[in-house]
Amino acid sequence: MMKFLSKAKREDIFGKTCLLRADLNIKSGDRGSSLRIKRLIPTINFLLKNNCKIILLSHRGRPKPINGPSLRSKIKILKDDSLFSVAKELSASLGKKVSFEEGLDLKEIKKRIDIFESGIFMLENLRFFLGEDKNDLKFAKNLSAFGDFYVNDAFAFSHRKNASMCAITKFLPSYFGLNLESEMKNLDKVIKNPKKPLVVILGGAKVSDKAGLINNLIKKADFILLGGGLANTFFALKNIPIGDSLCEKNYDIKPFEKLIGKKIILPSDVVISKKRILDIGSKTIEAYSSIIKKAKTIIWNGPMGMIEDKKFEKGSLGVLKAIISSGAFSVVGGGETTSFLIKKSLDKKISFLSTGGGAMLAYLSGKKLPALK
Ligand code: ADP
Ligand code: MG
């Protein structure tokens, strides 16, 4: 059974080696990525205070896994697929040495690390190993040999059934890390008895991911405000022409049809460029803002428009400002959405930034995440 690291008995962890699973799946040069690193630091410091040696595990990108140890020595690992630069970034944020353990020969690496009594070590991208994605027991067992106990602090990856997230807990005493604990507590606040009105704002590109959230929150939410590709999808299904706009064709809005204009609010005006809807319009910003300002609880996932271009960020900025001035308990998640807040230096004005995109949506949708079971 998983327990909380914050409540671990001292004798169970003190002076021991911890296998710490983090989500360091970070794109090079992504500013928002600092959030995942920042939120891992309290757990690392907690472990160091308990004299633990730390072995960090993570995945990154989608490299092709390597089949069999004989091939491992020969392959060339691309820079963006390696965790090497992430280890450097983490080390700089932490102000402590993080030794990156190059290579994929786990036995070799273990020998190297075993010599040290203490320190922070990071293994190479777990996605190079076939067993990781397959939640393979044998691979999990090999990993487990590196430590005395296991901590999962990779909330953003908890919706995936991988060996270092699930199978590994069969071999070691297992704990939820401090970040994961705070994610669960804060997300629980917005789904279990939220202070009303509860306003949910959904946008972005990954429509089918977010649709599940509408299903689960429709009863609890007072308003669901739509933007981005999600709004376009609703437009298209209502036969409102959307030109070449981003939308999801295989999504059925029938169950929600009666609620459109009541609980589910669509933009009343939009910004169009080259036959594409790229942001919500100024009247919509005003209407959404007045609903948001009355909220006591707010969930936001997915930008209102194509925020990478300054011309189309007004909708997301407007929503963000309304959230801040509402004084409501607010939770914001999603890779692009949280990056946007950090870029605008407005992230600290939000009650809780979730490090999860898909995982946050799955959690809020009421699904049991495999790694949290
Ligand atoms: P998050 O990462 O916050 O969960 P998504 O990954 O679902 O959000 O989508 C983010 C992307 O959605 C952004 O890159 C943004 O440019 C894009 N986007 C939002 N609205 C539109 C739109 N109307 N047209 C095209 N792209 C959009
Ligand atoms: Mg995204």
pLDDT in tens, 136-165: 999 999 999 999 999 999 999 999 999 999
Q: Whose CA is nearest to atom 27 of ligand 1?
A: 306
pLDDT at res. 74: 61
Phi-psi region of 102 (alpha: psi -120 to 50; beta: other; left: phi over 0): beta
pLDDT in tens, 304-360: 999 999 999 999 999 999 999 999 999 999 999 999 999 999 999 999 999 998 899
pLDDT at res. 160: 94
Q: Which atom of ligand 1 is nearest to the CA of 279?
A: 23
Q: Are 20 and 151 in contact (CB under 8 A)?
A: yes
Ligand 1-lining residues (CB < 6 angstroms): 203-206, 228-229, 246, 277-278, 301-303, 305-308, 334-337, 357
Q: Which atom of ligand 1 is nearest to the CA of 340?
A: 3
Task: Write out the two tokens for 234.
Answer: 């609703």
Q: Which residues, listed in sequence order, are joined to residue 200 by a DSSP beta bridge?
A: 224, 299
Q: Whose CA is nearest to atom 1 of ligand 1?
A: 334
Q: Which atom of ligand 1 is nearest to the CA of 278?
A: 23
Average confidence score pLDDT of the chain: 93
Gyration radius (Cα) of the chain, Å: 22
Ligand 1 mutation target, pool 306, 338, 363, most atoms within 8 A of CB = 306
What global pTM score does this model have? 0.92
> Which residue shows structure tokens 């999990």?
140
Q: Whose CA is nearest to atom 4 of ligand 1?
A: 334
Q: Strand 17-21 relative to strand 99-101: parallel, antiparallel, unpaired?
A: unpaired
Q: What are phi and psi of 263, to 5 degrees?
A: -85, -40
pLDDT at res. 73: 54
Full 3-state SS string of 231-266: HHHHHHHCCCCCCCCCCCCCCCCHHHHHHECCCEEC
Q: Report the percent of the chain where pLDDT is more than 70.
A: 96
In the sheet that holds 99-101, the strands lie side by side as 3-4, 174-176, 149-152, 17-21, 53-57, 120-123, 99-101
Q: Are 151 and 5 in contact (CB under 8 A)?
A: yes
